[in-house]
């Protein structure tokens, strides 16, 4: 009986696994969809600029702007083209990065993002999702538009990180050791969000942890399980997104965050997420949050280095219909977003208010 139980581990292993399908390796995906020299220049240039802003060599503000999540590559490309044009217009004051989120953390259930279910029909063609996500990022890089994304699945960066200039670690995963270890090896600056309850300590501890070397299990470019050894990432920074039912972008909250960062021995670099609890989950309030931050900078704040806006071609959100072909073009299927016209107005106004002020922040 004992021999039967352990023969091939059939009766003791994978009892709740319905099946496994082989994924293409990162190397195979990259061979099919290679990064061009021009695209690499976009990615590296984006990372270098963000680091210069964080280290105060560049006095500008950066802004991560784009849809809550990507579900329609055609609409995303149209949005990206508009953002690239706007980025050139405001480049003397603001450095714009396209928000390209392919993975969505869920409290209980719901669509988990373009990589997990690109066809939005519960077919979960992750292999197709990874390839299509890479194809879209290549298109952005080729046009000179740097991309920012959330690092959620610890294996995804092996497929996509060479195309990303900025990563976020979300409020639900900032406390995760797995994500702190992963962040220590990422080649980009990483923004750590405060906890969903508004607690800053989880983000501060994450920043300190990610700055140190780590060793952990992962995969290499050939898909082989490996021990990943990292050097540590010293470009972690705090993202305030509100929490516990209240915002934390106001002057007092920002000052308290500065004190906490200083006490922890961390750089005073703060990004304000204008959505989520900071807008009380009302997308229409995002512009007010952004302009309040601009006012704080005009009044002498030196710690706010970036903003995040959830924005799409059209405002609001929509549920996924039974027939995905019935989706409204350019409208979010996750969190509600402000529309393009509002986005452009907010960015232009922020530039007008900060153009002369930011020069004084160069150290």
CATH number at residue 348: 3.20.20.70
**Chain segment 322-346, per-residue pLDDT in tens:** 888 899 999 999 999 999 999 999 9
pLDDT over 70 at 315, yes or no: yes
Q: Alpha carbon of 27 to those of 41, 103, 360: distances in Å?
A: 20, 21, 46
Instruction: Check residue 157 and give its pLDDT.
Output: 97
Q: Is the dihedral of CA 73, 75, 77, 83 positive or negative?
A: negative
pLDDT over 80 at 280, yes or no: yes
Strands (E) across 93-146 are located at 94-99
The rounded distance, in Å, linking the Cα atoms of 358 and 353 is 9
215-219 and 225-229 as β-strands: parallel, antiparallel, unpaired? Answer: antiparallel
**Chain segment 78-100, per-residue pLDDT in tens:** 999 999 999 999 999 999 999 99
pLDDT over 60 at 6, yes or no: no
Answer whether 243's CB lies under 8 Å from 171's CB: yes
SS3 state of residue 62 = strand
pTM of the shown model = 0.94
pLDDT over 70 at 108, yes or no: no
> What is the rounded average pLDDT of the residues 250-257?
98
pLDDT over 90 at 4, yes or no: no
Give the count of domains, the chain: 1
The rounded distance, in Å, linking the Cα atoms of 205 and 220 is 27
What's the burial of 39, exposed, middle or buried (CB within 10 Å: 0-12/13-18/19+)? buried
**Chain segment 170-210, per-residue pLDDT in tens:** 999 999 999 999 999 999 999 999 999 999 999 999 999 99
DSSP element (H, E) containing 307: strand 304-310
The rounded distance, in Å, linking the Cα atoms of 237 and 56 is 13
Strands (E) across 156-275 are located at 166-169, 190-193, 215-219, 225-229, 236-240, 270-273
Task: Please give the backbone phi and psi of residue 109, each rounded to the nearest 5 degrees, phi first.
Answer: -150, 175
Confidence of residue 1 (pLDDT cuts 50, 70, 90): very low
Domain with 311, as residue range(s), is: 2-361
DSSP element (H, E) containing 309: strand 304-310
Answer whether 242's CB lies under 8 Å from 249's CB: yes
């Amino acid at each position: 009986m004992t021999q039967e139980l352990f023969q091939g581990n059939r009766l003791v292993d994978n009892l709740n696994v319905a099946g496994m399908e082989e994924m293409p390796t990162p190397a195979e995906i990259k061979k099919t969809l290679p990064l061009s020299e021009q695209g690499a220049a976009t990615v590296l240039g984006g990372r270098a600029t963000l680091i210069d802003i964080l280290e105060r060599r560049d006095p500008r503000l950066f802004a991560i702007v784009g849809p809550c999540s990507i579900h329609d590559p055609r609409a995303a490309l149209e949005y990206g083209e508009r953002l690239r044009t706007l980025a050139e217009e405001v480049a003397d004051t603001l450095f714009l990065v396209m928000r390209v989120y392919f993975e969505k953390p869920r409290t209980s259930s719901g669509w988990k993002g373009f990589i997990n279910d690109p066809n939005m029909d519960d077919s979960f063609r992750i292999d197709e999702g990874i390839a299509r996500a890479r194809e879209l990022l290549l298109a952005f890089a080729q046009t000179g538009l740097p991309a920012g994304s959330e690092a959620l699945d610890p294996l995804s960066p092996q497929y996509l990180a060479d195309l990303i200039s900025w990563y976020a670690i979300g409020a639900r995963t900032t406390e995760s050791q797995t994500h702190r270890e992963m962040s220590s090896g990422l080649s980009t600056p990483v923004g750590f969000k405060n906890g969903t309850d508004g607690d800053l300590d989880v983000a501060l501890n994450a920043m300190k942890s990610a700055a140190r070397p780590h060793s952990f299990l992962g995969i290499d470019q050939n898909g082989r399980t490996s021990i990943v050894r990292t050097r540590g990432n010293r470009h972690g920074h705090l993202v305030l997104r509100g929490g516990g039912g209240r915002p934390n972008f106001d002057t007092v909250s920002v000052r308290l965050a500065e004190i906490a960062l200083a006490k922890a021995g961390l750089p005073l670099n703060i990004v304000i997420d204008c959505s989520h609890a900071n807008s009380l989950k009302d997308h229409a309030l995002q512009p007010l949050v952004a302009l309040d931050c601009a006012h704080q900078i005009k009044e002498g704040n030196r710690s706010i280095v970036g903003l995040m806006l959830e924005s799409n071609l059209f405002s609001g959100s929509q549920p996924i219909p039974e027939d995905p072909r019935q989706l409204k073009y350019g409208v979010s299927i996750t969190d509600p977003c402000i529309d393009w016209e509002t986005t452009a107005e907010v960015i232009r106004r922020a530039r007008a208010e900060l153009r002369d002020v930011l020069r004084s922040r160069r150290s």
